[in-house]
Amino acid sequence: MTTLFYRNKRLFALAILLMLAAGSSAILTIGRQEDPTITNLFASIVTPFPGADPARVEALVTEKLEERLREIPEISEITSVSRLGVSVVQVELSQFISDEEIEQSWSEIRDALSDAAQNFPPGVPEPTFDNDRVGAYTNIVAIMADPDIEPVPAILTRYAKMLQDRQRALSGTKIVELYGDWQEEVLVTIDAIELLSLGLTSDAIANSISRGDAKVRSGQIRGERNDILIEVAGELKALDRIRAIPIAEGSDGRIVQVGDIGRVEKSFRQPPETLSLINGRPAVLIAARMEKNLQVGAWADRIKSIQQDFAAEMPSGLELRPIFDQATYTENRLTGVFENMVIGVVLVVFVLILSLGLRAAIIVAIIIPLSAIVSIFGLQLAGVPIQQMSLTGMIVSLGLLVDAAIVMTDEVRKKLRMGAERREAIHLAVKRLAAPLLASTVTTVLAFMPMVLLPGPAGDFVGSIAIAVIIMLVVSFGLALTITPAMSGWLLRTRADGQRSWLLQGLAFRSLGGAFGKLMRLTLNYPAISIFAALSLPIIGFASFPTLKPQFFPGVDRDQFYIQVELPEGTAIAQTERVALDIDALLKDTNGIETVS
């Protein structure tokens, strides 16, 4: 078995072709993204209680929600804030549950919220549940009016919703959200004097309008055998239909309609929930997020094609402006990491040419990319996409995987120089190094396992580094026992070949070798001093650890920065808009800033 691939060249070629095919397929199909996908363990629950003070919100809403949520064992922490007119509950799931259990927990939480809402006071709606707060949007564009045209919020919002629907239909799109869109509504303004003369209240008018909508039942006739629901024919689709809704009967028998005592008109919800400004001008943002483990470049190309077609259909006076494209930053970052990897391979091969010779360097130079391409196939099987952390793991393992190829190549060459026949040299080298290589691989794998098993978001982020290292070490170990000795048997020179060129055998470095021999003798003669010298470097390293800057995410050099401003609780959105415009004006006067969104 130790010389199987050397003896059977067809099997060797088949193995190489299979590895190249699997690796090439993985390179074309494996997901590409900027950062690892972080498992979402957090959710927020917001329940409005108009007009209620914090104490009532706490007693009538927040406590009822917390009582139901505490019955779910997967929840590790619940925090809540009861403010004037609103209850906010934050939920954190346990870090030690699987992805399937996470989805089941979210479903249980939704059911618990529905149960708790049944005990809310009248007028309090069901809580709003949001568990999609992790991860950045992949693509953001804005629809806005030209600078010389007064923006019409209704038109901007309608075209934004049209583009939102098209992007939602794109395969691989997880979510598409609108920001700064204006919510249209029908505003009924009642004359207070007319209302008073009829002896009605605004709630009575609102109930009459509600019953006039076909989507809501108007009443019910109960009998001994049957109950009959009463509904108004035709839902509310036009303003005239609302104006014609009867609300009372006058003293002269005339039916009083909504239009008789009030004004009915289309309007926008005031105040708006969100506002978006691009360089100080109103806009509507369309933010899309890609599903995980997809190729961000390919998905971005498809969504840009949709946006270009949509922009061509938009009327003159409207502009579709790109705001953010994660694909550009992802490709730049991955290209930079790949360039570093290529530089590392070139340096390794250069050193090997000087130390082992050209033929040995060629063997290692073939094994390194072969290990990388097979490892990418392994990453795809493990569900790890290509991103900065997994590529970093591959670079880290580069210095580890070349060790196996180097020692196996050198061992085969040593046996050949001692006069062994090629097949025997391969057999002896593999037999001698199989156990040490296995031991070094297993110990290194075990050293990285804590990173793989690290729970929670931290494990999601750094775990892919360890997975990439482990996969590359296992692949390099397999290649060191199969492909590397076979190539060494074919390419390396024997002692009988008689060629002593440094290009083929490597530089001897006799003076350096002599110095190394003296150092080894001193080390053996003075073991205590040697141990102290060996331990001094890691001790210095640990001692200097507090001087390092703690940082969870690596630094990113990109042409964007983000500012978040917190205003006092209860600040109106109009005041928030004024502050944003002041910051906008300040930033636009700063040299080097092109766009402020």
411: nearest Cα among 492, 334, 349:
492
**397, 404 contact by CB (below 8 A):** no
Alpha helices in 285-421 (DSSP H): 296-313, 326-355, 358-381, 388-417
d(CA 320, CA 322): 7
Place of tokens 């580890």: 400
In angstroms, the Cα distances linking 322 to 116, 284, 558, 581 are 43, 12, 17, 21
Mean pLDDT to the nearest integer, 23-42? 87
Token digits of residue 437 = 């290589």
φ, ψ (nearest 5 deg) of residue 493: -85, 150
Place of tokens 């003070």: 53
3-state secondary structure 282-302: EEEEEEEEECCCCEHHHHHHH
Condensed to tens digits (0 to 9), the pLDDT of residues 184-211 reads 888 888 888 877 777 788 888 888 877 7
| pLDDT tier for residue 495 given thresholds of 50, 70 and 90 | low
Token digits of residue 582 = 């002041």
Distance of CA 377 to the CA centre of its chain: 21
d(CA 477, CA 574): 64
Which residue did the predictor score with more confidence, 191 or 494? Answer: 191
In angstroms, the Cα distances linking 590 to 279, 476, 595 are 13, 53, 11
Token digits of residue 213 = 């909508």
Q: Which amino acid is at 347?
A: L
Condensed to tens digits (0 to 9), the pLDDT of residues 313-365 reads 999 899 999 999 988 888 887 787 778 778 877 888 888 888 777 888 888 88
End-to-end distance of the chain based on CA atoms, in angstroms? 65
Alpha helices in 118-152 (DSSP H): none
What is the pLDDT at residue 350? 85
Alpha helices in 169-285 (DSSP H): 192-197, 202-211, 239-243, 258-261
At how many degrees (to 10) do helices 326-355 and 388-417 cross? 20
d(CA 376, CA 23): 6
**271, 575 contact by CB (below 8 A):** no
In angstroms, the Cα distances linking 317 to 230, 246, 314 are 48, 43, 9
Share of the chain above pLDDT 90, in %: 39
Whole-number average pLDDT of the chain: 86
**7, 486 contact by CB (below 8 A):** no
3-class DSSP state for residue 214? coil
Question: Cα angle vertex 462, ends 458, 467, to 5°?
Answer: 130
What residues form DSSP beta bridges with 325?
Answer: 139
**208, 302 contact by CB (below 8 A):** no
What is the pLDDT at residue 556? 64
What is the pLDDT at residue 216? 57
d(CA 274, CA 284): 10
Condensed to tens digits (0 to 9), the pLDDT of residues 235-280 reads 667 788 788 888 877 666 678 888 888 888 888 888 888 899 998 8
Mean pLDDT to the nearest integer, 1-11? 86
Q: Which amino acid is at 245?
A: I
Q: Residues with Cβ < 8 Å from 2, sequence gap 6 or more?
A: 426, 427, 430, 431, 481, 485
d(CA 235, CA 242): 10
What is the pLDDT at residue 554? 61
Mean pLDDT to the nearest integer, 158-164? 95
In terms of Cβ atoms closer than 10 Å to its own Cβ (0-12, 13-18, 19+), residue 199 is exposed
* pTM summary value: 0.76
Which uninterrupted H or E stretch holds 323?
strand 318-325
3-class DSSP state for residue 6? helix
In angstroms, the Cα distances linking 491 to 302, 395, 484 are 48, 27, 11
| pLDDT tier for residue 213 given thresholds of 50, 70 and 90 | low
In angstroms, the Cα distances linking 174 to 142, 287, 288 are 19, 11, 8
What is the pLDDT at residue 190? 86
Q: E-strand spans in 526-588?
A: none
**390, 337 contact by CB (below 8 A):** no
Mean pLDDT to the nearest integer, 383-399? 85
Mean pLDDT to the nearest integer, 119-147? 87
| pLDDT tier for residue 140 given thresholds of 50, 70 and 90 | very high
